[in-house]
Amino acid sequence: MAVKSVSHIGIAVENIAETIGFYQNVLGLPVEGEEVVEEQKVKVAFLTVGETRVELLEPTSDESPVKKFMEKKGPGVHHLAFSVDDIDVELARLKAAGVRLIDETPRRGAHGTRIAFIHPKESNGVLVELTQQGSH
Ligand code: CMX
C-alpha cells in the first residue's frame, strides 16, 4: 500500500464554533480553513498539526451520516485519513485483494481532494479514508 502519511484525523462534533477553541486556543493549532461539503452533509474545519491535520466535522442536517454516527456513539474520533499518490490505483489494488470498500470509486472531499472510505469491518471498527490531493 502506497500510504504516504496521515492526512488528517476526523472528529465528529455537534458544533465547530463551540469546539474549535480547545484545538485553536488551548492546544495552539492554527486554523487552516472551513468548508461545507454539501454532498456529504458536513461542514469541516481543518487545524494544522505538523504535517497532518485535525478535521472537525459538523453535520449540516439531521440526515448527515456524521449526525447518525453521533446519535450512536456520541462526539469523538470519526475516521483516520491516509494520503496516497494515486487513489484509483490503490482502490483497484484493494478491490483485487478482496478488501471490502464503502467507495469503489472516489468521491469529492474537502479542498478539492478525491477520497474513498474502506469498510470499518476491515480495520476492526475504524473508518479509514484514502485521500489524494486535488488540483486546487
Ligand atoms: N466509524 C466506524 N464505523 C462506521 C463509521 C465510523 N465513523 N461510519 C459508519 N460506520 C459503519 C456503519 O455502522 C456500517 O456498519 P455495518 O455495515 O456493520 O452496519 C458501515 O460502516 C457502513 O456505514 P453506512 O452508514 O451504512 O454506509 P454508507 O455507505 O451510507 O456511509 C460513510 C458510509 C462512512 C461514507 C458515512 O457513514 C460517513 O461517515 N460519511 C461522512 C464522511 C465524511 O466524514 N466526510 C467528510 C469528508 C471530508 C474530507 O475528509 O475530505
pLDDT digits (tens, 9 = 90+) for 32-65: 999 999 989 999 999 999 999 999 999 999 999 9
Average pLDDT over the chain, rounded to an integer: 95
Could you read off the pLDDT of 73-101 as tens digits, one per residue? 999 999 999 999 999 999 999 999 999 99
Ligand 1 lined by 10 (C-beta under 6 Å): yes
Ligand 1 lined by 64 (C-beta under 6 Å): no
Q: In ligand 1, which atom is closest to the CA atom of 125?
A: 2
Q: Parallel, antiparallel, or unpaired for β 31-37 and 76-84?
A: unpaired
C-alpha cell at 131: 485521500
Q: Which of 35, 47, 102, 111 to mutate to test the pocket of ligand 1 (most atoms within 8 A of CB)?
A: 102
User: What pLDDT shows up at residue 111?
Assistant: 85
User: What pLDDT shows up at residue 13?
Assistant: 98
pTM for the predicted model, two decimal places: 0.95
Cα-to-chain-centroid distance, residue 119: 13
Higher pLDDT, 59 or 1: 59
Any idea which residue has 461539503 for its cell?
37
Q: Quick one: CA dihedral 29, 35, 37, 42, positive or negative?
A: positive
pLDDT higher than threshold 90 for residue 70: yes
Q: What one-letter code names the amino acid at 122?
A: E
